[in-house]
Amino acid sequence: MPIIKKANLKCPNKNCNSTIYREWNVGVIPKLLSVGSLYFKCRKCSSIIYVSVPLYMVSKFLEVMESDKSLIYIDGEWLPKIEEIDEEEIKIFMGMLQQNPTELLTALSQIEKIDLNNYEKE
C-alpha cells in the first residue's frame, strides 16, 4: 500500500499559482469502481482542478494536505476568521442603540437589504 507523505497542490492558473488547501475541496466523484476524482476550487481565482486518486486514499490524501489558517469551520461551513470585538467597540455599539436606534438601523440597511418600512416600532 502506498504511503502519502506530502500533498502540495498549486493552482494551475498561470496568473494565480496559489497553494490549494484541503478546505477548498468541493467533493469527490467516482470515475471507476476503484478510482475517484477529488475536486478543488481555488478561492483566489475560482479555477476548478481535480486530482485522480484511488478511492481508499481520498481521506489520506486530504489529511496530508495543508490547512488554510484563514478559515474556521462553523455549522457545516468554512467561514473566514474575523477579529473579535473588543470592549471599546461594544461601548460604541451600546451607545448607538441607547441614543438613536433608528440611525443604527438606517446604517445597517445600507450594508444589508433591510426594509425599514416593515420595521415595527416597540
pLDDT tens digits, one per residue of 17-44: 888 888 888 889 998 888 999 999 988 8
pTM of the model as a whole: 0.59
The residue with greater pLDDT, 105 or 113, is 105
| Residue 64 and residue 17 in one domain | yes
In the prediction, which pLDDT does 60 show? 87
| Residue 20 and residue 59 in one domain | yes
| Residue 21 and residue 71 in one domain | yes
| Residue 29 and residue 58 in one domain | yes
Domain that residue 94 falls in: 87-118
| Residue 97 and residue 51 in one domain | no
| Residue 15 and residue 37 in one domain | yes
The number of domains in the chain is 2
Quick one: pLDDT band at residue 106, thresholds 50, 70, 90?
A: confident
What's the rounded Cα separation, in Å, for the pair 44 and 11? Answer: 9
Predicted confidence (pLDDT) at residue 97 exceeds the cutoff of 80: yes
What's the rounded Cα separation, in Å, for the pair 99 and 90? Answer: 14
